[in-house]
Chains A and B, each alone.
Chain A
Amino acid sequence: MDAITNLLKIISDFVAELIRSVLGFSPLLAELVTMGIAAVVLITFAALSFMGLTYVERKVVARIQDRLGPNQAGPFGLLQPLADGIKMFTKEDTTPATADRWVYNAAPLVIAVFALATYAVIPFAPGVVGTNLNVGVFYVLAIGSGSIVAILMAGWGSNNKYALLGAFRTVAQLIGYEVPMLLNVLTVVLVTGSMSLIDIINHQTLADGNPGIPHILMLPLPALVFLISGIAETGRSPFDLLEAESEIVAGFHTEYSGMKFALFFLGEYVNALAVSFVFSTLFLGGYAGPILPPYVWILLKAALVFFVFMWLRGTLPRVRIDQMHALNWKFLVPMSTVNLVLVMLVLKLFPTSESAAQAFGGLLVTPWVQTIILAAVNLGVLFTALTLAARAARRFRQAEEEMIMRRRAANLAAAKA
């Protein structure tokens, strides 16, 4: 039982020990080789899950839309990712004659590298994590901004109007949705008191005096907003304006084909999967869970989040660009800011630790009571924001209708005259 629970840990320790015994003459070299192998394993995991996810996503979305999905290559079309891979490898790759060659060729590499770098901090099981940074969440948020640069590089390097316009649109979307993401990760850090992803998971497990409450119960609103902005950050439907074919062809990667296009695609999926992992870690308790071994739990939770992504993709229509920006700047950001302030006040006014209560005043409560208060405040903010938004939308519609009526009246008068 114990062996199964700690399977990943045992394997990784064994490999590290093996390398240490082989390269015993130089501890530094052994350390570096161990890190290199760990990095290669993580990258391979990400690349393989990318291939698998393309198949799963096509199947799931097809089922949602009452289609069959890929079913020709192999049984149930299972060999489809392989066929796609072979095609990508052997497809002719053109570089536009007017392109800025260096920038054009570097862009897919940069986007893939930054997407894969996120996996360095994701914990898969106790003791099985690339590296436990004490600025873990901050690192995840920061490394995401690397892909913004890559997109601008692709847009500029292609020297193509559609690509450049697509890049501008994409960047406006990505930087916009990074703001609510930041604000809501901040609430998690407030509750946890640490930026390390391991500490955040430990705060949600039932060990050393922790209540074992997943953050999604404590902070339902940040979880929701993080999910929405995560979808927008990875450019997935319904926020896939960056590839609105009818408007800007394929967006910033219009000119790319073959393996370079595949790298963009990989970056997109790897990022989406990373967001699922980070969401599971921040709000669903990461690898913590009863009975099943931890690595199964984190994979299950991430798969669940990714399934929500696919579900939304299969059912929701694409939003308009003005709606997308309005949703972010006029709804999510103000709401998250107000929520952040209220969470701060609640945490200070209803502390759970005795020392804090004695030092700074406030009402000492049990963790569950604090959770209920936080959740109530969160839902209150959400409800208020929704009501206000609905009222504003109604007023907006009325004004629009009035204007149309006035125009009609004016037309009528003109026709009479």
Chain B
Amino acid sequence: MTLQQVIFIILAIAVIGSALFVVTTSNLFRGALMLIVAFFGVAGFYVLLDNGLFAVAQVMIYIGAISILIIFSVMLTRGMQAMIPRNAQAGSVAIAAALLFLILLLAFGPFRLVVDLSGVPILSALFRTESARVLGGVPWQFANREVPETYIADFGRALVDLNQFLLPFLLVAFLVDAVLAGAIYIARQRKPAEVIAEREAIAKEEAEELAALQPQPNAPTLPQGAIASTADH
């Protein structure tokens, strides 16, 4: 076993373990912390995949930004801690998730499972090719090459290349605009009654101020010092 394999297994255990903790704990704050551990483990996977840029970006975006937002909202919605962590359909969902994992494992795992579909009327027509009748052990077209030294610059160039990702790149900016506008509107929105009360209070205050500002024919304007002393008494 090479060192990299050992590191991979440690990371895998950390990620899966903390992910399981996240979805089962009733203490949401600790759940958020374990989520950060999972994010960190995924950043470790990116390093093993020779992608330092995304490892660092993962730390920056997921740990530095998204988990901060999550922790903030855990704190803002406190009092929800003592609740039962699972809803009614948790049991069936667990079975479904386990089934999904099993299917994915069979489909993309290292196992080869030959299924003979030739006798089945519709399926045999649907899956013509040889590989489709074999479940798992997908024959990937491996590149067997190193990551180029300049992959960061290549990525940057592709992002602003009209023939590649310029359009989604620009759309990101507009998406961000929409997100900011929407989130500010939602998060700052108050109950209608509150808003009405506030508006009324402001209107009242303004009316009072206006009334106070009406020039009174009998009262000549006093110098500033006199005003201050009157206000003191």
Contacts and interface: CB of A to CB of B under 8 A. Distances in A.
A and B touch in the complex (CB under 8 A): yes
28 contacts: A28-B3, A102-B30, A103-B33, A134-B52, A134-B149, A134-B152, A135-B52, A135-B53, A135-B56, A142-B59, A145-B59, A145-B63, A145-B65, A146-B59, A146-B64, A152-B68, A152-B71, A168-B75, A195-B152, A410-B212, A410-B213, A412-B219, A412-B222, A412-B227, A412-B230, A413-B212, A413-B219, A415-B233
Contacts of B212: 406, 409-410, 413-414
Given A149-B36, A413-B212, A416-B219, A408 B63 contact: no
Measured as residues with beta carbon below 8 angstroms from the partner, the interface class of chain B is 20 to 34
Interface residues of A, number: 36
B52 A406 contact: no
Contacts of A146: 59, 63-64
Interface of B is mostly: helix
Given A411-B231, A412-B227, A143 B59 contact: yes
Contacts of B45: none
Contact of A156 (B29, B53, B67, B68): B29
Interface of A: 28, 100, 102-103, 133-135, 138-139, 141-146, 148-149, 152-153, 156, 164, 168, 171, 175, 178, 195, 406, 408-416
A156 B74 CA distance: 11
A173 B216 CA distance: 49
B40 to A, nearest CB: 9
Interface string B72-96: 0001000000000000000000000
Contacts, number: 90
A288 B152 CA distance: 26
Interface string B14-58: 000000000000000110010010000000000000001100110
Contacts of A102: 30
B161 to A, nearest CB: 14
Given A406-B209, A408-B228, A142 B216 contact: no
Given A103-B33, A411-B231, A415-B230, A156 B63 contact: no
A144 B56 CA distance: 11
